[in-house]
Amino acid sequence: MTANSKIWVSELNARPEVRGAFPQTAIRFYDTTLRDGEQTVGVVLSPQQKLGIAYKLDELGVSRIEAGFPRVSAEDAEAIQLMQKAGIKAELWGFSRAVKADVEELVRLNLEYSVIEAPTSAIKLKAYGISREEVLRRIRDAVSVAREAGITVAFFAVDGTRTELEFLKTVYLSALDAGAKELVVVDTIGACGPEAAEYLTRQVCEWAGKGVPVHFHGHNDFGMATACAVAAVRGGATWIQGTINGMGERAGNADIAEIALALRCLYDVPVVMNLEKAREVSEVVRRAAGYTLEAWKPLVGENLFMRESGAVASQFHLPEAIEPYSAEIVRAERRIVLGKKSGLDSIDLKCKELGVTITAEQRGPVLAAVKQAAVKQAAVGKGGLVSNDHFRQILAVMHII
């Protein structure tokens, strides 16, 4: 376990061959919930909702907010203008294709920062009907226009992880020559494993040289987005792009709060994020977007610090026996719930919570009644948990209260 009294992970993470591969400089986060996250099927966020989420991202400590893609969405342009007037502390970034008209819209909105994207893989170039020579020309022209307008550019190589390496190197160096200040390693369809993400990120860092920040932007098609982002940090990335709750197209984007938690707790890497706000921000975004989350989702899931099993409840007094990090880190509530899998310790803990006195002889019959009630509720589709009010009713029927 770590020396931190609130983190109880394996000591193997602290071995020099593991932790020594990670930087000790702080990792920062570039949030794209308002652009890439909104690409979640069926999600539409109004300009006012985007402003509200931006405030929450600011509270979370996100360093950069991708405010939208204004050339293709008048609503995004409106949202950007609202954020500019709102005094958001985070840098506001735009999103642009390597198209002059896209950049001109950024200029009209007085944006100081933007990603500029272009397809780079043979598959994407074929899909768009663009040659390598043409895409290089577009990149140079768009980045040059942005540079002349005083816009700081991070070049974003679409489907970079499936691009032939020598051509990808040419693309990135061309973008830097044209005036890009930062580079983004992009796993557009989640096609990389962690080892490949680390390798490519290290390659891009070497091509770019010292002083050029490198980002990683990954998707979760194989459930590997967090692992790939962590590996990219090991490879030299100092910025991680992603969304709140991992929302996005297909299986979604990398979840920035989940990555921050993993970096901090598993590898002791400093992160610029207030994890105590993560669950609150998650809920605000979830409500605005109108989707549900898995109860067992890391960091933000409803079940993470909720205990039903009697075997686990017996260890509830010692959090490090049943949890890898303290609920305090993410400002979550630990609690016991009652159901079919509860045990005698569960009954004792719940009675203590509710201020009820129960004798040793009463514990067994009460537990049996709770289990029976949970099974009956589940059978009629009402869920398998016994609420506090229902538990009190059981106690009342048994003349305990």
Task: Annotate 235-274 with three-state secondary structure.
Answer: CCCCEEEEEHHHCCCCCCECEHHHHHHHHHHHHCCCECCC
192 close to 176: Cβ distance less than 8 angstroms: no
Distance of CA 222 to the CA centre of its chain: 15
**What is the bridge-based pairing of β-strands 338-339 and 385-386?**
antiparallel
Q: What local confidence, expressed as pLDDT, does residue 21 receive?
A: 87
C-alpha radius of gyration, the chain, whole number: 25
331 residue type, one letter? R
Residues 95 and 19: their CA atoms lie apart, in Å, by 35
Structure tokens at 307: 């205990």
Under DSSP, the state recorded for 20 is: T
Handedness of CA 250, 253, 255, 259 (dihedral sign): positive
As annotated, the residues of the chain forming the CATH 3.20.20.70 domain(s) are 11-289
Q: Which residue has the tokens 């006195």?
A: 357
- Backbone angle region of 248, left / alpha / beta, with phi > 0 → left and psi within -120 to 50 → alpha: left
What gap in Å lies between CA 401 and CA 350, rounded to an integer? 14
* Assigned CATH for 11-289: 3.20.20.70
Residue 3 CB: number of other CB atoms within 10 A?
A: 7
The whole-angstrom separation of Cα 337 and Cα 341 is 10
pLDDT < 50: residue spans in the chain: 1
Look at residues 200, 260, 205 and name the one whose alpha carbon lies nearest to residue 236. 205
pLDDT of residue 4: 67
| Residue position matching structure tokens 């609690």 | 335
Res 185: pLDDT = 98
Dist. CA 138–CA 141, nearest whole Å:
5
CA distance 191 to 172: 20
Q: What is the pLDDT of residue 273?
A: 98
Question: How far out from the chain centre does Cα 383 lie?
Answer: 29
